[in-house]
Structure 1
Amino acid sequence: MNLINQIIQNGNGTALLFFPFLLALVTAFLAFPTIIFIAHAKQLVDVPDKRSVHSKTVPTLGGIGIFFAVAIVLTLCGAFLDAKLLMPVVGALIILFFLGVKDDILILSPKKKMLGQIIAALMVILITDIRITTFSGILGLEDLPYFISIGFTLFVFILIINAYNLIDGLDGLAGSVGLLVSMFYGFLFFNMQEMSLTVVSLALVGSLIAFLYFNFSKVRKIFMGDTGSMVVGFLLAFQSVAFISINQLNPMAQFHLNAPIIVLAILFFPLLDTLRIFYVRVVILKKHPFSPDKNHIHHHMLQLGLKHWQVTLVISIASTSVLISALLSQSFNVNLQLVIVIFAGLVMFSLPFFINYSVFKQRIKMNKFLKKLHLIN
């Protein structure tokens, strides 16, 4: 057992968990101004086009600050925690970091990015042996053979990384979703006494709080870019798979039977948006699934008249509500839980559009009524 686990189990070290959070927060806060200055000096900025939701050039290298903060925390804490778990994660992040930086500066082909993601994910899966071993009875499916388990876990990694990348199109959205998801996982890992994974969550939370400060800034704004979306997406995927794996291997765990449902609830928004956007692009528009457009859920919410921060707030509230529905239905059969989570998610993310439609209808009725009054007068 590692030193920090011993201290915390003795009831004396909970305050130590503030160290990785504060270290990531301070490191990122110190790094971002320098990154922004260099990006403007070297013209490493995003130039607005017809798809952009901003009107000024903005640096796209925010992922460097996020990576730097997380890597420092995991490297320092690795000496006191589970180095066999954390060091492969750092190695995978380094691979994704260099791919992301190259893509942000020179543009990288989707095939090369996908290959890098596969190598990074496989490295962590094979070295740590953190993988999805069973479907937990979902749709009647149980244990997975070893190689199928590896393949399916790899698919989950790639899905989550790219799903997260797809929602990075609005000020604060990707950062807020990553922050919220990591806070959920950090709380769950802490309750499970998984301190190494708790530190991963806290490091990401600290770096994303600093990123959001600058992402929302009007003077020193920065985007996370592909570097950030791949680094953060990978860490969200790692936390998701680790949460499922640990619970599935422990018959006494609180989420032994429904860990995949909890993960689905936590990541419902990026997964829903990915499924929806692929359907729209491939089936309806007959386009490449990764071709850029403005058909994302957050784009449609902007069209309702919501501001960037309002869209982010609505999505955060909806995501929290879906997780609550999953937690409240834990005592039900796993397939019924799946139905409840999907239903709750579809309702919560459709609600803004239904409300807007109702308001629109009421305005039409009111206009007709006023016109009648005018005619009578």
Structure 2
Amino acid sequence: MKNFELFLTQTGISIFYVKVGLGFLFSFLITFFSIPTIIKISRKKNLMDEPGVRSSHLGKIPNLGGIAIFYSIGICTSIFAYEIFDLYKFLFASLIILLYVGIMDDIVVMRAYKKLVAQVVVSAFIVIGSDVRIRSLFGIFGIFEINYWISVFFSIITFIILINAFNLIDGIDGLAGGYSVICSAIFGISYYRLGEYNYPLVVLSFVIIGSVLAFLYYNLSNYRATKIFMGDTGSMLLGFLLAFTCICFIDIFIDKNRVDIPRYHLKSAPVIAVAILILPIVDTLNVIIVRLWNRKSPFEADKNHIHHKLLKQNLTHRRSSFYIVVYYLFIIGVTYFLRHSNVNLLLFTVMFLGFVGAYIPDAVSALQNNKRKSIN
């Protein structure tokens, strides 16, 4: 690889742009050509997702698409962004653990506490071992620098919440995959604008995009023979990687000598990160609040997720995913436009708009019911 970089340097070609282009291309191709084999084996060995009470599909569908996503990300990142594994030495080990746990859960369904233990382990690896953590809140609630151990605990909890939150939005075709593409693109562009030191993270972001786009080709297929889900393997991997890129994004703005002063003077960095991942955050908080309000366990499965509400409006999976992604892209746009506002006011605005989006389907449903009653 170094000889290849030397050759590009001598010919005057930018190594970075070649890495981004090839990383995207090969991650797409690896996933695209791996999935048909995974579908074939899944059908032959009956490794399928069985329709359940909360399912939004009717027939058996292979659910090991996450293997192809890991396969392409693992290969392409190791080749085109190998610096990442030098900077964050526990990253690859964490991905391997999540791959194993995800496959086990997709095939035999693991107990929740076992998955939680694995999530705690990988989060601790990356937070303590690689020092990827939230060091400051930039003045949110008046908090700047965070004590080391509080920072470690808070960061581990953040990883676990985002991993599971992303898993929860993977309920209809195209939503988790489409949203991860959007988030990775925004983080990738942001890293690019913040300088050459962050270029390996740019390559990682575009490797993720390439892999997930290839997956979406099959996930959104109208033919059951070529359809596949990412399963817990894919949702946990993507949730973990988005949490990783999110915390790295916040960390970029910190002056390591003075964590109370943002390096690039963008005090709204944590709020922007929240806005980018607003869908899984709000969806998870909303269903937990609803369950507690109804005196149910916060871990009890139901159909109160945003995508379930849209499906009740007789929308297709594609349309539901499209409407959700467009609305939460609107929130990201508002946040960027107001990025220099007071951080606490901006956080309130982001969360308020997020919860408004969660209840728009309920409002539409109520209006339709009132209209039917008035007609009758």
Calculate the TM-score normalised by the size of structure 2: 0.90
Q: Which amino acid aligns with 2:206?
A: L
Q: Which amino acid aligns with 1:339?
A: F
Whole-angstrom CA distance in 1 between matches of 2:318 and 2:272: 26
Counterpart of 1:347 in structure 2 is 356
Q: Deviations over 1:51-77 (max 9, x none)?
A: 221111101111101110111112112
Aligned 8 A contact 2:174 2:220 in 1: yes
Are the equivalent residues in 2 in contact too, given 1:172–1:309 (CA < 8 A)? yes
Give how far 1:346 is off.
2.7
Partner of 2:205: 201
Structure-2 separation of matches of 1:221 and 1:200: 26
Which entry has the higher C-alpha Rg, 1 or 2?
1
When residues 348 and 283 of structure 1 are mapped into structure 2, their CA distance, relative to the original with a 3 A threshold, is closer
How far apart are 1:18 and its partner, in Å? 1.0
Equivalents in 2 of 1:351, 1:55: separation in Å?
A: 27
1:64 touches 1:227 (CA, 8 Å); kept in 2?
yes
Residue 308 of structure 1, CA deviation: 0.7
> C-alpha displacement at 1:285, in angstroms?
3.9
Structure 2's unaligned 5+ residue stretches are none
Distance (Å, rounded) in 2 between the aligned partners of 1:357 and 1:255: 45
Equivalent position to 1:110, from 109, 112, 117: 112
Cα distance 1:353–1:59, how it changes in 2: closer, same or farther (>3 A)?
Answer: same
Correspondence for 1:97: 99
Report matched runs for 1:240-279 at 5 Å.
240-249=246-255, 253-254=263-264, 256-279=266-289
- In structure 2, what is the Cα distance between the partners aligned to 1:360 and 1:255? 50
Structure-2 separation of matches of 1:25 and 1:138: 39
Pair 1:60–1:239, CA change in 2 (3 A): same
Question: In the TM superposition, what whole-angstrom CA distance separates every residue of 1:257-287 from its partner, at most 9, and x where no partner exists?
Answer: 1111001111111111111111222341422
Contact 1:325–1:344 (CA under 8 A) maintained in structure 2: no
**Residue in structure 2 matched with residue 33 of structure 1 by the alignment:** 36
Name 2:344's counterpart in structure 1.
335
Partner Cα distance (2:140, 2:311) in 1: 36
Q: 2:218 aligns with which of 214, 220, 229?
A: 214
Amino acid at match of 2:204: V
- 1:373 matched residue in structure 2: none
Report 1:116-195 matches (<5 A): 116-193=118-195, 194-195=198-199
State the identity as a percent: 36
Structure 1 range deviating more: 340-349 or 69-78: 340-349
- Aligned partners of 1:332 and 1:272: how far apart in 2? 21
AA aligned opposite 2:273: V
TM-score after normalising by structure 1: 0.90
Q: Kindly state the Cα deviation for residue 296 of structure 1 after the two structures are TM-superposed.
A: 1.2
Helix, strand or coil: the match of 2:253?
helix
Q: d(CA) in 2 for partners of 1:343 and 1:159? A: 20
Q: By how many angstroms is 1:130 displaced?
A: 1.8
Amino acid at match of 2:49: D
Structure 1: where are the runs of 5+ without partners?
A: 369-377
Q: Which residue of 2 aligns with 1:15?
A: 17
RMSD: 2.2
Pair 347,294 (structure 1): closer, same or farther in 2 beyond 3 Å: closer
Query: Residues 181, 361 of structure 1: CA spacing in aligned structure 2 closer, same or farther, 3 A cutoff?
Result: same
Q: Which amino acid aligns with 1:282?
A: L
Note closer, same or farther for the CA distance 1:281–1:345 as it changes in structure 2 (3 Å cut). Answer: closer
Of residues 291, 300, 305, the one that matches 1:281 is 291
What is the number of equivalent residue pairs in this alignment?
A: 361
In structure 2, give the amino acid aligned to 1:45.
M
